[in-house]
Amino acid sequence: MSRPLWSGLKAWARDLKRDVVALWIAARDPRTPMLAKLLAASVAAYALSPIDLIPDFIPVLGYLDDLLIVPLGIFLAIRLVPPALMAEFRIAAEARAGRPVSRFAATVVVALWLAGLAAVVLLLWPAKTN
């Protein structure tokens, strides 16, 4: 990879991380419109969750959420937050020392996996015949 392309990708990834934290802040700010707040909270919670809905070891699909779904959600959420507020949230995100972690989102993902597993077990469990 050429040096300018690589540095451009690194800058994009750094901005994406900052924007996730900015959306996490936006979701908690009362000035954020409700639709933007809901989408920002969902996107930030998923992006900050230590557990993926689609694990990375699944070929192609495992990285689909990281490479397409999360950036698209971030883009849409940013579009819904008023620009002046988003600029303020980005400054606040850059000032934060650490990245927040969404344990709630991790719990939701684990619950979805357990529900899916239970559904598969119920579908595959042999039915009683009388």
pLDDT one-digit tens code per residue, 40-91: 988 888 887 767 767 777 777 777 777 788 889 899 999 999 999 999 999 9
C-alpha closest to that of 27 among 113, 126, 100 = 100
Q: How many domains does the chain have?
A: 1
Q: What is the pTM of this model?
A: 0.68
129 domain-assigned:
no
35 domain-assigned:
yes
Place of tokens 């579908």: 123
> Which structural domain range is residue 109 located in?
3-124
116 domain-assigned:
yes
130 domain-assigned:
no
The C-alpha atoms of residue 13 and residue 9 are separated, in whole angstroms, by 6
62 domain-assigned:
yes
